Amino acid sequence: MTAAPSDAAAQRAELVRVLLAVAMEDRDAFQRLYRLTSAKLYGICLRICGERQAAEDVLQDVYVQVWRRAGGYEPGRASPITWLATIARHRAIDWRRRQHATASLAEPGSAAEPVDPAPRAEAALLAEEERARIADCLEALEPRPRDAVRTAFYDGVTYAELAARDGTPLGTMKSLIRRALLRLRECLSDDA
Amino acid sequence: MTPDDQALAAELALGVLDGAELAAARARLAADRAFAAEVARWEEWLAPLALAFPETSPPAGLEARVLAAIDVPGAAPRAGWRRRGALALAGLAAAVLALVVGPLRAPPPPPVPAPTRPAAAPLLAALVVPAGAEAPGRAPLAAAVDRPSGEVRIAAATVPRGRSAELWAIAEGGAPVALGLLDGGRPTRLVVAQAQRVLLRAGTTLAVSIEPPGGSPGAAPTGPVVAAGALSEG
């Protein structure tokens, strides 16, 4: 346990350095960034897109965005991997939204060819205390809202899809999730 | 920030909105700093869940595709000093060119004889907006120092109309020393005078202040410091 935090700190420092170099349009640093982070980001794209071809296209788009936007990365604000993961997740979600726009009658639950049907979000993979906090706060929710928030996050689905999957009226699903989010917020901002 | 605002920020970060609601939330994100900060807070809270997704190596060929994609014109809309630098210095010796074009990493085996002098490790700094100095248009700036040439390169800064942005070096325990003015709106390269290059070392703070046109009339910054950060080994 003593090694993990310093490893995490060293990795974070290394990623910050690499990202700053990418912000200076250092192509070698960009390649290094890709090698350090692509498995992580591809995992995110794959989980949300649910198919390999789309995940590859989205991942490429993510790195182009990173190349363009690295100058906007603020080391003091977010950890580099958080910043990258957020870009990857939203790009993947955007892809899903576009899919839905073109195939407006997508069957509920059809999006995920189950690449990893058992999300290991709460499995101990990261030593970051924030991870424990979100996991603990989710755990503290009632089962139904908890599952809804998890599904929304893991599958990148909209309120409309959530409601359809669950056979719940849209308005009910919305207020269920909203209440859960506000409760989560209380828990997350505790001693923050 | 009302509970409704907080919930909306969370919904945006979670990714459950679509259609008109999504468009409205994004518009608000662009226009409302408090709302944007709330969304950022949620992104930070939620990101660990995404980071716990199983890692999967992408197919081997994707790396080449990605590297090719950033070479497409338009992939990097910022005026890149690497490209401008490469053009401007095309006639100079290979060793100098290598320092300008690829100063941050050892270059790949070149078709011409390798430079005889290895590039010293660059110094890097993240210049962040000091607490209390946050304002629209102020953003963190990345800076890199190439020690052999004494060149400091800084990412594009927003400079208020009719003002100048001045770069300072502050050695640990020392007084600010003016290094030069930044080009507003695009990356800047400054070659630091020989006598001041001793300042370009790890631990020295680089700071950018907003000054009257032409820079501070005195020996120290007169305007607000809008970005500052310490140099460290790259």
Residue A48: what residue type? I
Would the pLDDT of A1 be above 80?
Answer: no
Phi and psi angles of residue B228, each rounded to the nearest 5 degrees, phi first? -155, 150
Quick one: closest CA in A to B130, which residue?
Answer: A76
Would the pLDDT of A9 be above 60?
Answer: yes
The residue that leads in pLDDT, B19 or B48, is: B48
Closest of B148, B53, B96, B83 to residue A88, by C-alpha: B53
CA-based end-to-end distance of chain A: 23
pLDDT of B62: 96
Distance of CA B63 to the CA centre of its chain: 24
Please identify among residues 81-100 of chain B the ones whose CB lies closer than 8 Å to any CB of chain A.
81-82
Q: Does residue B57 belong to the interface with chain A, where contact is any CB pair within 8 Å?
A: yes
The residue that leads in pLDDT, A181 or A5, is: A181
Closest CB to B65: pick one of A24, A60, A188. Answer: A60
Using CA atoms, how far apart are residues A181 and B174, in angstroms rounded to an integer?
49
Coil, strand, or helix at residue B113? Answer: coil
Q: Is A77 exposed, middle or buried (0-12, 13-18, 19+ CB in 10 A)?
A: middle
ipTM over 0.90: no
Please identify among residues 203-222 of chain B the ones whose CB lies closer than 8 Å to any CB of chain A.
none
- B182 near B213, Cβ under 8 Å? no
pLDDT range class, residue B44, cuts 50, 70, 90: confident
- A136 token code pair: 């603990």
pLDDT of B73: 60
pLDDT in tens, B173-193: 667 788 988 988 888 888 888
Residue A43: what residue type? G
Judged by average pLDDT, the poorest of A121-125, A157-161, B202-206 is A121-125
- Enclosing H/E stretch for B188: strand B188-191
Q: Mean pLDDT, chain B, as a whole number?
A: 76
Coil, strand, or helix at residue B71? Answer: coil
Q: How close does chain A come to B212, measured CA to CA in Å?
A: 26
Spell out which residues of chain B touch residue A63, defining contact as CB-CB under 8 Å: 66, 69-70
Check CB contact under 8 Å for A121 and B52: yes
Using CA atoms, how far apart are residues B58 and A38, in angstroms rounded to an integer?
7
